Amino acid sequence: MATGRTHRPATRSRGIPEATVARLPLYLRALTGLSERSVPTVSSEELAAAAGVNSAKLRKDFSYLGSYGTRGVGYDVEYLVYQISRELGLTQDWPVVIVGIGNLGAALANYGGFASRGFRVAALIDADPAMAGKPVAGMPVQHTDDLEKIISENGVSIGVIATPAGAAQQVCDRLVAAGVTSILNFAPTVLSVPEGVDVRKVDLSIELQILAFHEQRKAGEEAAVAEAAAAVVPPVRAAGNGRKGPDGDMPAVMPA
């Protein structure tokens, strides 16, 4: 659901294409589910179905990791979890700051899924002085005045922006100047960043608009099918025994 804007080339330095990198979290999520259920091995077909990916694509993706599975047995779930986590850099802890602790920022701060995936929320930052010191998700909100200090003291390289759109570029510039090199942007605006800084944009309304497009197309197709059905001339009854078939009007024996 994230749409990426990145300054990296389409193929990463270690030869793993960006499209493969984008699918690794899907495999990891499916594998984590299997691991939690203590499933020891999984076939490429099963894993592909669980991740919502084509199995040939999955095998090709895993070949970049040097993982080929064992014929008749499949892939070792735990080892694959380790391999993908290592490839994504999740075997280390990533401190993250969230800037803009309104409705969305607070919801993100309260989301337990970051920590379980190796992302530690190191600080919550907001420009509203009235929020400073107030606890959200068990942490005191800190004022933007201290943004640079917080980034440097916590060695933060990933920043999450959940401010209004009008403030996002300025927040982004400060994060980048303070040393952040990856940004997850929830604000509905396009951010400009220097070379070497990765930006991922999440916009649920864009996802909904895409679904609306498909809904509209489905409705159009249904209308066309209904129109075509209405236009069909009833079949001519076969000359012959005059008996009706099991479908009522249809003759039991269709004319050649």
Shortest CA distance to 94 belongs to which of 110, 113, 112, 117?
117
By CB under 6 A, which span of 26-34, 69-77, 101-109, 228-236 interacts with ligand NAD? 101-109
Residue selected from 93, 128, 146, 153 as contacting ligand NAD according to rule CB under 6 A: 128
Mask for 166-205, x = binds ligand NAD (CB under 6 A): -x--xx--------------xxx-------------xxx-
DSSP 72-112: TTBEEHHHHHHHHHHHTTTTS-EEEEEE--SHHHHHHHH-T
When the beta carbons of 93 and 128 are compared against ligand NAD, the nearer one is 128
When the beta carbons of 125 and 197 are compared against ligand NAD, the nearer one is 125
Q: Residues touching ligand NAD: how many (CB under 6 A)? A: 24
Residue selected from 101, 124, 156, 175 as contacting ligand NAD according to rule CB under 6 A: 101
**Minimum distance from CB of 67 to ligand NAD (Å)?**
34
The answer to whether the annotation marks 191 as part of a ligand binding site is no
Q: Which long-range contacts (CB under 8 A, 24 or more apart) does 17-20 make?
A: 17/64, 20/60, 20/61, 20/64
The answer to whether 84 and 31 have CB atoms below 8 angstroms apart is yes
Q: How far is CA 44 from CA 21, 36, 74, 82, 133, in A?
A: 17, 18, 7, 17, 49
Which residues ranging from 3 to 22 are in contact with ligand NAD (CB under 6 A)? none
Residue selected from 100, 124, 136, 199 as contacting ligand NAD according to rule CB under 6 A: 100
Query: According to the binding rule CB under 6 A, does residue 126 interact with ligand NAD?
Result: yes
Both tokens of 155, joined, read 């060695």
Query: According to the binding rule CB under 6 A, does residue 162 interact with ligand NAD?
Result: yes
When the beta carbons of 24 and 162 are compared against ligand NAD, the nearer one is 162
Query: According to the binding rule CB under 6 A, does residue 73 interact with ligand NAD?
Result: no
Query: According to the binding rule CB under 6 A, does residue 137 interact with ligand NAD?
Result: no
DSSP 217-237: HHHHHHHHHHHHHHHPPPPPP
The answer to whether the annotation marks 103 as part of a ligand binding site is yes
DSSP 171-216: HHHHHHHTT--EEEE-SSSPPP--TT-EEEEE-HHHHHHHHHHHHH
Residue matched to tokens 């193929």: 11
Query: According to the binding rule CB under 6 A, does residue 127 interact with ligand NAD?
Result: yes
C-alpha span between 166 and 189 (Å, rounded): 8
Residue selected from 44, 163, 169, 182 as contacting ligand NAD according to rule CB under 6 A: 163
When the beta carbons of 170 and 209 are compared against ligand NAD, the nearer one is 170
Which residues ranging from 207 to 226 are in contact with ligand NAD (CB under 6 A)? none
Phi–psi pair at 138, nearest 5 degrees: 80, 10
Which residue(s) pair with 200 in the sheet? 4, 184
* Contact footprint for ligand NAD (CB under 6 A): 99-105, 126-128, 144, 162-165, 167, 170-171, 186-188, 202-204
